[in-house]
Chain A
Amino acid sequence: MIMKQYIRVYWKLFFLNVTSLTAYRSGLISNLISSTVWALFPFISIFLLTANTPVLFGWRREEVIFLSTMYAVYYGVFQMVFAKNFLRLAVLINTGEIESFFLKPIDGQFLVSVSRVGVTAFVRVIIGIGFGYFFGKQLGISVSFIDGILLLIALFCSLMLLYAVWMNILLFLIWNPKLSNLVEVLFTISGMARYPSNMYRMVNETLMYVLLPLSLTTVVPVKILFHNISWQDYFLLGGVSIVLCGIARLFWLFAMRFYTSSSS
Chain B
Amino acid sequence: MLYNEHRMAISVSHLSKQYQTYKKEPGFLGSLTSLVSRKYETVKAVDDISFEVQEGELVGFIGPNGAGKTTTLKCLSGLLYPSSGIINVLGYIPFDRKNPYLKQIALVMGQKNQLWWDLPAQETFLLNKEIYEIPDDMYKNTLGQLVELLDAKKMLQVQVRKLSLGERMKMELIAALIHSPKVMFLDEPTIGLDVVMQKQMRDFLKNYNELQRSTILLTSHYMEDVRQLAKRVIIIDHGKILYDGKLDNLVKKFASHKLLSVVLETFVPKEKFEEIGTVVSFEYPKVVIKVKRKDSNDAASALLKKFPVDDLNIEEPDIEDVIRDVFNSKNE
Contacts and interface: CB of A to CB of B under 8 A. Distances in A.
Direct interface between A and B, CB < 8 A: yes
Interface of A: 5, 8-9, 12-13, 16, 19-20, 23-24, 95-97, 99-100, 102-106, 108, 257, 259-261, 263-264
Contacts of A97: 112-114
6 contacts: A12-B126, A13-B127, A97-B114, A103-B77, A105-B133, A264-B109
A102 B116 contact: no
B102 interface: yes
Interface string B41-84: 00000000000000000000000001001110010011111000
Contact of B132 (A16, A100, A105, A264): A105
B225 interface: no
Nearest to A97: B112
Contacts of A24: 118
B131 A106 contact: yes
Nearest to A4: B133
A263 B66 CA distance: 9
A9 B105 contact: no
Interface in B310-330: none
B28 interface: no
A126 B110 CA distance: 43
Nearest to B219: A264
B19 interface: yes
B107 to A, nearest CB: 6
Contact of B130 (A9, A96, A103, A259): A9
B159 interface: yes
Contacts of A257: 81
Given A97-B113, A259-B80, A261-B74, 6 more contacts: A99-B74, A102-B79, A103-B97, A103-B102, A104-B131, A261-B79
Contacts of B109: 99, 264
Nearest to A13: B127
Contacts of A106: 99, 131
A102 B133 CA distance: 16
B217 to A, nearest CB: 14
A242 B99 CA distance: 26
A261 B80 contact: yes
Nearest to B110: A264
A251 B66 CA distance: 31
Interface residues of B, number: 41
B42 to A, nearest CB: 13
Contacts of B244: none
A226 B123 CA distance: 47
B187 interface: yes
A244 B254 CA distance: 60
Contacts of A12: 126-127, 130
A24 B114 CA distance: 20
Given A9-B131, A13-B127, A20-B119, A264 B111 contact: yes
B188 A264 contact: yes
Contacts of B69: 264
B79 A5 contact: no
A206 to B, nearest CB: 32
A253 B113 CA distance: 24
B293 interface: no
A102 B119 contact: no
Contact of B19 (A13, A95, A260): A260
Contact of B79 (A16, A19, A103, A263): A103
B77 A264 contact: no
B103 interface: yes
Contacts of B116: 16, 20
B70 A264 contact: yes
A102 B130 contact: no
A102 B112 contact: no
Nearest to B20: A260
B159 A23 contact: yes
B160 to A, nearest CB: 10
B206 to A, nearest CB: 23
Q: Give the top 9 A-B pairs by smallest Cβ distance, nearest first.
A: A264-B70, A105-B99, A105-B102, A23-B118, A100-B114, A20-B118, A105-B103, A9-B130, A12-B130
Nearest to A17: B116
Given A97-B112, A261-B79, A19 B102 contact: no
Contacts of A23: 118-119, 159
Interface string B114-155: 101111000110111011110000000000000000000000
A102 B78 contact: yes
Contacts of B80: 259-261
Interface in B3-25: 19
Contacts of B187: 264
